[in-house]
Amino acid sequence: MGILAWTWIIVGLSFSLYISIAIWAKAKTTGDFYVAERRVPPVLNGMATGADWMSAASFISMAGLISFMGRDGAMYLMGWTGGYVLLAMLLAPYLRKYGKFTVPMFVGERYYSNAARVVAVLCAIFVSFTYVAGQMRGVGIVFSRFLEVSINTGVIIGMAIVFFYAVLGGMKGITYTQVAQYCVLIVAYMLPAIFISIMLTGNPIPQLGFGSSLSEGGQQLLGTTGGYLLDKLDLLQQDLGFKAYTGAGAKSTIDVFMITFALMVGTAGLPHIIIRFFTTPTIRGARASAGWALFFIALLYTTAPAVASFARFNLLLSVNNKAYEQAPQWIKNWSKTGLIAWKDKNGDGKIQYAPGNAFAGKIAFAKTPDGQMEIGPYGEQVVSTPQTPIETSRNELYVDQDIMVLANPEIARLPNWVVALVAAGGLAAALSTAAGLLLVIAAALSHDLIKSILAPSTSEKMELVYARIGAGLAVLVAGYFGIHPPGFVAQVVAFAFGLAASSFFPLIIMGIFWKRATKEGAIAGMICGILFTAIYIIYFKFINPELNNAAHWLWGISPEGIGTIGMLINFIVMFVVSKITKEPPQEVQRMVESLRYPRTI
């Protein structure tokens, strides 16, 4: 059976599973809708958090990013896991003790101010939308390659599915769907990695495989000699003019440091992750869930660097200096989606792969007058984007980072059903995260805006209706961003982190650990933090993208890492303003005090 048939079967089966769960777990009360009635056991909550957390960016883009960045890519690995340590020790148990529905609600009560609550609602919505855009794009990419539809059609199919189970099931539906999605995505991620690890090194554990030496079979397969895989990869990279894979990369140490920090703190401040800790039955459970969540996440995150180096190794060996006509089939398959492109700069009919961009700007393809793709002399789609001058780069190949995981099984010539399974895993990852984010948006609109501020007399039944309408509207906006994406999947996601780091994290930490933090301090801190971060990012990414390089950055910190500075600004402003304003009312201080002890006192 072909890839297409297998994909329909496996994706179809997994989707019917999610939809059945959504129907079974239909939310009946607002408690169901927002926090699944707090009946989710820690291990299951950990799995659901894992799926909620591991997005299209983690599943689809991360290994690709690492593959192209070498050791610098570890900032994603450490950044996207280290935040859980902060969550477990600084946030989860206290917020569970607080025991209400949403993060803006905590902010509103702790800072005794509806203004603080509204700002928190806006931040939650802003962060969630930035993040959800990347997810919908990821769904589109998977659908377009594996179901052979356009990326935009793919986005629309994804919207329809998410709409169904987020709107119907709320948190309860989402939680149990996410448990199923975790199982699908982890199997889909590990299985090809295990196969490839065995093929190349004979070691069935990919986490160890990429640190092993090449087996005889692996040497034959790739036409190379023996030795440690990573050492060979370093040599291969250097031969082609790249930096060593395991050594310092293109980024400065301060930038790597700042980005890692922004990602960690951002993780701990992401509203859709925090909200998951409201669903456990006990405080002990909330602490343990964070551990289980990270355990389940680490299974994938320790496999990712193995996948990245296998993919890189394969790419360098199987592509460079090959005649295009004899290039592996996956190159041609992925060219159809426009995510791989080749232009014969030096006219030798072979693919030259070297450092630097092959083309100047976004890839576009030439069309014939009757609207068909123009095909070049070797059967390639003709690229209409201007090529970068040959003096700056003799690279002829454009490979989109987002395809490395999805293309990997094909690259390693694994059976078609494995390829289809990976597609299902990518969809599971993107849809579960999108659903979690939509819930945050829905809760922010219905609970924090309508029920608490605009129309407090709303009945529970009506609130549930508003929550569902909110989720529905959010799906539409998410779909729009999926069709008109503001950048690479992983880059967009990185912004959401910077914004979460500079708004929520200081607010919640100070709210729990410092009784003296006042509402004036909180509002001033949050506004300064998020404004600084957003302006920095928008300035370099949208207003003056040509200035977006280390020479123009503040202290050499890229827009991806600036959230760390935004967070510091938030902390400092909050501290100073709190010191000079009137201390919080006694009952608020007593509430903060009570968060510190699990038992009610």
**Residues lying near other proteins in the complex (CB under 8 A):** 71, 74-75, 77-78, 81-82, 84-86, 88-90, 93, 207-208, 210-213, 228-231, 246-248, 253, 256-257, 260-261, 282-284, 287-288, 290-291, 294-295, 298, 301-302, 305, 596-599, 601
Tokens of 594: 């009570």
Smallest gap from Cβ 50 to other proteins, in A, equals 12
Q: At what angle do helices 489-513 and 586-595 cross, to 10 degrees?
A: 110
Q: Which residues pair with 120 in a beta bridge?
A: none
Tokens of 105: 């609600």
Give the residue with the Cβ less far from other proteins, 168 or 264.
264
CA dihedral 122, 126, 128, 129 (to 10 degrees): 130
Tokens of 559: 């827009």
Smallest gap from Cβ 601 to other proteins, in A, equals 8
Smallest gap from Cβ 81 to other proteins, in A, equals 5
What region, left, alpha or beta, does residue 413 occupy, with left being phi > 0 and alpha being psi -120 to 50 degrees?
left
Give the residue with the Cβ less far from other proteins, 160 or 208.
208
Give the Cα separation of 194 and 205 in Å (integer): 6
Distances (CA, A) of 303 to 275, 278, 297, 399: 27, 29, 10, 22
Radius of gyration for the alpha carbons in the chain, expressed in angstroms and rounded: 24
Give the Cα separation of 505 and 511 in Å (integer): 10
Give the residue with the Cβ less far from other proteins, 139 or 214.
214
Please enumerate in sequence order all residues whose Cβ is within 8 A of that of 539, keeping only pairs 6 or more positions apart, or say none. none
Give the residue with the Cβ less far from other proteins, 287 or 519.
287
Smallest gap from Cβ 518 to other proteins, in A, equals 21
Cβ atoms < 10 Å from Cβ of 554 = 11
Smallest gap from Cβ 530 to other proteins, in A, equals 25
Give the residue with the Cβ less far from other proteins, 322 or 515.
515
Smallest gap from Cβ 211 to other proteins, in A, equals 4
Give the residue with the Cβ less far from other proteins, 74 or 317.
74
Q: Is 392 helix (H, G, I), strand (E, B) or coil?
A: coil
Burial class (CB in 10 A: 0-12, 13-18, 19+), 299: middle
Smallest gap from Cβ 563 to other proteins, in A, equals 16
Give the residue with the Cβ less far from other proteins, 75 or 478.
75
Smallest gap from Cβ 93 to other proteins, in A, equals 8
Smallest gap from Cβ 125 to other proteins, in A, equals 30
Give the residue with the Cβ less far from other proteins, 255 or 380.
255
Give the residue with the Cβ less far from other proteins, 17 or 74.
74
DSSP string, 161-213: HHHHHHHHHHHHHHHHHHHHHHHHHHHHHHHHHHHHHHHHHS-S-HHHHTTSB
Smallest gap from Cβ 213 to other proteins, in A, equals 6
Determine the residue type at 226. G
**73: which DSSP letter?**
G
**CB distance 479 to 159 below 8 Å:** yes
**CB distance 172 to 464 below 8 Å:** no
Give the Cα separation of 313 and 292 in Å (integer): 33
Smallest gap from Cβ 234 to other proteins, in A, equals 9
Side-chain half-sphere CA neighbours of 94 within 13 A: 23
Determine the residue type at 579. K
Tokens of 459: 């009945």
Give the residue with the Cβ less far from other proteins, 88 or 478.
88
Give the Cα separation of 62 and 397 in Å (integer): 20
Give the residue with the Cβ less far from other proteins, 49 or 381.
49
Smallest gap from Cβ 48 to other proteins, in A, equals 17
Give the residue with the Cβ less far from other proteins, 151 or 288.
288
